[in-house]
Amino acid sequence: MKRLGGQSWKFDSRPRIKGSATVVGPKEGEGPLGADFSYVYDNLEIDESTWEKGERRLLERASFMALINSNLTKEDVQFFIAGDLMNQIISASFAARKLAIPYLGVFGACSTSMESLALASLIVDSGGAEYALAGTVSHNCTIEKQFRYPTEYGAQKPPTAQYTVTGSGCAVVGHAERGVIVDCATLGRIVDMGIKDPFNMGGAMAPAAADTILSHFKDTGRGPEDYDMIVTGDLASVGLPILKELLQKQGVDPDKTDMNDCGLMIYDREKQADIFAGGSGCGCSAVVTYGHLLKKLEKRELNRILVVATGALLSPLSYQQGNSIPCIAHAVALESGG
């Protein structure tokens, strides 16, 4: 059975990440993980005339590079599962137009990276595809313009604000002799603690991350000590301490593993300006996972990790109407492979 407990899937056929690619903007390339990314643009425009076109180019480039790194062509892949933060997920849909691969568009806000990976792995594990491509993307200027204030407005931000990552990460999942193994996945539930501030995403999403992690432990019978690292995305400096406190209250000791956050890993908050509480956006957990963390697993510097991507499922419309922010988190367990 693929179902494991109440919210999890166990991938018995052990699908692997055959190849991946990460494409980022200049600020991300200047950060501490810059050497782990596949390609770094030297301009925030991403060689395009609009921010939105630039975001789409990021995903297109990461998708094709992931195929190349997998020694595959787009004709070898049966499904493309992707999403983004733009209205009607236009970056993913327009990239799918260029790829011309059967397409499933998904929206999990910043949890889209692990949502798409979980679905791609399920499709491959069930025999529904030989290969599936999972990916997501975000751009700092498109998201700031849509969800908060246009960059040109120059609005003052509070310390709880996060800096949207300009980047795209994609991975090809299939059966192969080598590659990082996708072991299992736990899908999250909506958790809404009544927070309405779009500048406090870390605080809003931390309870959803705790709920998914606790469900994962319940379904799998594992604990934090069974993972070399549990990494969230993107709670940043505000949400990660809240998550640890919530886990402790439920009898789970977060200090039994290396618990970190993609939003804290991708930038150097002391040396890089305007980062505030840390990184965020669909691209944040995607590029950290498919770039930095996969390399650690491939080198066996890590043996098993749990990536818990978090998403704030608000929209400009819901925010303007005074609604609180429903949040979710999806977790995928990855293991080093031969």
Percent of the chain with pLDDT over 90: 90
On whether the CB atoms of residues 202 and 93 are closer than 8 A, the answer is no
Q: Report how far Cα 251 is from the mean position of its chain's Cα atoms.
A: 27
pLDDT of amino acid 98: 96
pLDDT band at 1 (very low <50, low <70, confident <90, very high): low
256-299 pLDDT, tens digit each: 999 999 999 999 999 998 899 999 999 999 999 999 999 999 99
The answer to whether 244 and 207 have CB atoms below 8 angstroms apart is: no
CA distance 115 to 93: 16
pLDDT attached to residue 153: 59
73 phi and psi angles, rounded to 5 deg: -110, 170
284 neighbors 165 (Cβ within 8 angstroms): yes
| Torsion, Cα of 56, 131, 81, 338 (10° steps) | -90
Q: Which two tokens stand for residue 77?
A: 């892949």
Q: What is the mean pLDDT of residues 9-35?
A: 97
Work out the mean pLDDT of the chain and round it to a whole number: 95
Number of alpha carbons in the 13 Å side-chain half-sphere of residue 88: 4
Please name the residues in contact with 4: beta carbons below 8 A apart, sequence gap of 6 or more: 10, 184, 219, 220
Count Cβ atoms below 10 Å from residue 270 Cβ, excluding itself: 6
Residue by residue, what is the 3-state secondary structure of 58-72? Answer: HHHHHHHHHHHHCCC
Domains and CATH numbers, the chain: 3-174 (3.40.47.40), 180-335 (3.40.47.40)
pLDDT value for 58 = 98
What CA–CA distance (Å, rounded) separates 314 from 318? 6
How far is Cα 328 from Cα 318, in angstroms, rounded to an integer? 16
Cα(134)–Cα(226) distance, integer angstroms: 26
Q: Which two tokens stand for residue 196?
A: 């309405």
**What integer pLDDT is reported at residue 338 of this predicted model?**
64
N-terminal to C-terminal alpha carbon distance within the chain: 25
What is the mean predicted confidence (pLDDT) over 42-56? 97
Residues 6+ apart with CB under 8 A from 109: 85, 282, 311, 312, 313, 314, 328
In sequence order, the 6+-apart residues with CB closer than 8 A to the CB of 324 are 192, 193, 194, 195, 196
What is the distance between the alpha carbons of residues 322 and 196, in angstroms, rounded to a whole number? 7
Q: Are strands 3-4 and 131-138 parallel, antiparallel or unpaired?
A: unpaired
pTM of the full structure = 0.97
Within 10 A of 166 (CB to CB), how many other CB atoms are there? 31
Neighbour tally for 92: CB within 10 Å: 32
pLDDT at 174: 98
